[in-house]
């Protein structure tokens, strides 16, 4: 089914680089032999020439002007058009050497749970991180890249695909944690357990349970046929809520071409899922992928080399893409979580004398307010930490009296200990307190300016609170 037919039969759920959503649902019902508007997969200026008069229809599908789409195709060599006019991306490989610290830490979960990890059980939307391989059939990859319908290989580090080594368990758990944290603000279950086809494919406009499959497979056959064995991942753009969406799945990640490094694999997985959700690349006027600055990089740029990698709205200098990532993903079927704590003193979550709590900052204007009670006086230490593995949240915590006067605030300077460890993201307050009730406000912040650091736009995710005993 070609682009003209798509536009004729349905209002498509698309989002522009500006982040303006023009619809909430897509429709695509490919036949066994979809109609073609061009002869082959093509990129760059050749794609513009091949599309000819159909350039305007493809541009309309992605809510762009023909001139804007032509410019994007010419400037981003990783962006391709398939024979039916659908855009997909082939990611270039990392260019910097892997740091010596790139060994995954022991996984936090029992090995028995490695293929049963869930970030949000019960969510209607799912991102399935598929490490154990399986067939790819009835998809655009089969139709336009001759990918066989036989089973794709499972993730493998030791050359023994029949068993799972400890290093493989550790890597899979690390990748899962990182991707889950990238999508923590959303009402989506990031999982390593196969949820079944019905949980991933959208079959009708009334179907609210769907998602995408990110296949993390060392498939040399697929990598060779799709990108000449020279890409870290590939994915179709803006297909998450298509009907049926399964035709444009999976998004692929090729771990063997990413040095099998857990951080690299995770960054690629979140990036490819982002493409499925309608996101384009974050670059500059001179480079297609922005590698970041200070200790920060955008998820839809190159996240391999910086420890703090966040969703972006193109606030950094010379950005070529001002897509509002959070809004675009919402507009393409991925809702935000419900706020878990009140955002005012009057709606504060009461901890009482409990000394531990946790929460999620879901969006940049979210401020979580919690109250606690001290039955004794003395020095009290309050520590608020973001998620322990590849956090996106830079925390600020403020302490207030029962009368709402601010006593102290903590927001350490953010820095970098390594390509995988940012510093200064947690916050600690230590001072003498008398018996009584106090309030904490927790929010995500930036550092410096967007051009030299980052704003609070992508400073989102999970945090934990610990309050010491009176001393």
CATH numbers and ranges of domains, the chain: 345-467 (2.60.120.380)
Contact 235, 276 (CB under 8 A): yes
Q: How far apart are CA 214 and CA 216, in angstroms?
A: 6
pLDDT for position 34: 58
C-alpha of 175 from chain center: 12
pTM of the model as a whole: 0.92
Q: Mark 153-187 as b/e (b = at least 16 C-beta within 10 Å).
A: bbbbbeeeeeebeebbbbbbbbbbbbbbbbbbbbb
Burial class (CB in 10 A: 0-12, 13-18, 19+), 355: middle
Tokens, residue 95: 């260019």
* Per-residue model confidence (pLDDT) at position 103: 73
The rounded distance, in Å, linking the Cα atoms of 294 and 311 is 16
Q: Cα(230)–Cα(224) distance, rounded to whole angstroms? A: 8
Parallel, antiparallel, or unpaired: how do β-strands 378-386 and 427-433 relate? Answer: antiparallel
On the question of a cis peptide bond just before residue 119, with omega within 30 degrees of 0, the verdict is no
Q: Are 393 and 444 in contact (CB under 8 A)?
A: yes
Residue 91's closest CA among 232, 248, 286? 232
In 185-336, which ranges are continuous DSSP H helix?
Answer: 220-227, 262-276, 325-331
Phi, psi (degrees; rounded to nearest 5) at 167: -60, -35
372 in Cβ contact with 384 (< 8 Å): no
Rounded-to-integer distance, Cα 86 and Cα 301, Å: 21
Structure tokens at 196: 């079944």
Nearest to 282 by CA among 332, 330, 319, 324: 319
Q: Which residues contact 287 (CB under 8 A, 6 or more apart)?
A: none
Kindly list the distances between the CA atom of residue 138 and the CA atoms of 101, 149, 284, in Å, as whole numbers in the listed order: 41, 8, 37
Considering only CA atoms, give the Rg of the chain.
23
CA distances from 447 to 283, 315, 408, 427 (A): 21, 13, 19, 14
What tokens appear for 345 in the block?
A: 């003193």
Neighbours of 231 (CB within 10 A): 21
Total residue count of the chain as it appears in this document: 471
pLDDT the model gives residue 136: 97
| Per-residue pLDDT at 104 | 79
pLDDT tens profile 90-124: 999 999 888 766 677 899 999 999 999 999 999 99
Q: How far apart are CA 396 and CA 195, in angstroms?
A: 37
Residue 411 CA to residue 25 CA, distance in Å, equals 41
Residue 378 gets the label, from left (phi > 0), alpha (psi -120 to 50) or beta, of: left
- The predicted pLDDT at position 24 comes to 35
The Cα–Cα gap between 238 and 17 comes to: 12
For tokens 């991707």, the residue is 179
pLDDT at residue 100, as a whole number: 65
What pLDDT score does 4 carry? 37
In 124-147, which positions are buried (b, 16+ CB within 10 angstroms) versus exposed (e)? bbbbbbbbbbeebeebbbebbbeb
Helices 166-182/262-276 angle, 10° precision: 40
Q: Distance between CA atoms of 239 and 27, rounded to whole angstroms?
A: 9
pLDDT of residue 21: 33
3-class SS of residue 252:
strand
CB 297 within 8 Å of CB 94: no
The pLDDT, as a whole number, for residue 76 is 94
Residues of the chain with pLDDT under 50: 1-33
- Answer for the pair 48, 70: CB distance below 8 angstroms, yes or no: yes
DSSP sequence for 266-303: HHHHHHHHHHHTT-----BSS-SS---BTTEEETTS--
């Amino acid at each position: 089914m070609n682009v003209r037919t798509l536009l004729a039969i349905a209002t498509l759920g698309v989002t522009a680089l500006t982040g303006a959503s023009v619809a909430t649902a897509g429709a695509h019902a490919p036949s066994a032999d979809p109609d073609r508007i061009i002869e082959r997969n093509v990129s760059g200026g050749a794609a513009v020439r091949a599309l000819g008069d159909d350039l305007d229809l493809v541009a309309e599908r992605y809510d762009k002007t023909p001139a804007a789409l032509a410019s994007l195709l010419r400037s981003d060599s990783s962006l391709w058009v398939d024979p039916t006019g659908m855009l997909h991306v082939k990611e270039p490989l990392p260019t910097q050497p892997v740091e010596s610290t790139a060994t995954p830490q022991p996984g936090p979960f029992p090995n028995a749970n490695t293929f049963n990890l869930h970030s949000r059980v019960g969510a209607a939307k799912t991102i399935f991180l598929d490490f154990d391989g399986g067939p790819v059939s009835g998809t655009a990859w089969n139709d336009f890249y001759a990918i066989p319908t036989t089973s794709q290989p499972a993730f493998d580090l030791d050359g023994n695909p029949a068993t799972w080594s400890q290093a493989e368990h550790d890597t899979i758990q690390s990748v899962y944690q990182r991707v889950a944290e990238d999508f923590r603000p959303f009402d989506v279950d990031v999982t390593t357990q196969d949820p079944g086809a019905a949980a991933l494919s959208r079959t009708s406009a009334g179907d609210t349970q769907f998602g995408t499959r990110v296949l993390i497979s060392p498939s040399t056959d697929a990598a060779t046929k799709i990108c000449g064995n020279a890409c870290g991942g590939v994915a179709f753009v803006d297909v998450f809520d298509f009907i049926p969406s399964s035709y444009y799945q999976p998004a692929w990640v090729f771990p063997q071409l990413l040095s099998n490094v857990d951080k690299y694999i995770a960054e690629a997985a979140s990036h490819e899922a982002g493409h499925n959700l309608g996101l384009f690349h974050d670059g500059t006027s001179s480079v297609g992928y922005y590698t970041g600055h200070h200790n920060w990089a955008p998820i839809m740029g190159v996240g391999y080399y910086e420890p703090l990698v966040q969703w972006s709205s193109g606030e950094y200098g010379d950005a070529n893409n001002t897509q509002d990532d959070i809004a675009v993903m919402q507009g393409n079927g991925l809702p935000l979580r419900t706020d878990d704590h009140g955002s005012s003193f009057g709606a504060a979550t009461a901890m009482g004398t409990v000394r531990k709590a946790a929460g999620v900052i879901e969006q940049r204007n979210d401020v979580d307010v919690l109250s606690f009670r001290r039955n004794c006086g003395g020095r009290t230490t309050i520590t608020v930490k973001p998620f322990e593995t590849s956090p996106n949240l830079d925390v600020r915590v403020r302490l207030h009296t029962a009368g709402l006067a601010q006593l102290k605030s903590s927001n350490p300077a953010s820095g970098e200990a390594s390509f995988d460890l940012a510093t200064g993201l947690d916050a600690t307050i230590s001072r003498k307190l008398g018996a009584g009730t106090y309030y904490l406000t927790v929010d995500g912040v930036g550092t410096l300016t967007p051009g030299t650091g980052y704003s609070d736009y992508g400073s989102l995710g999970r945090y934990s609170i610990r309050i010491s005993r009176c001393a």
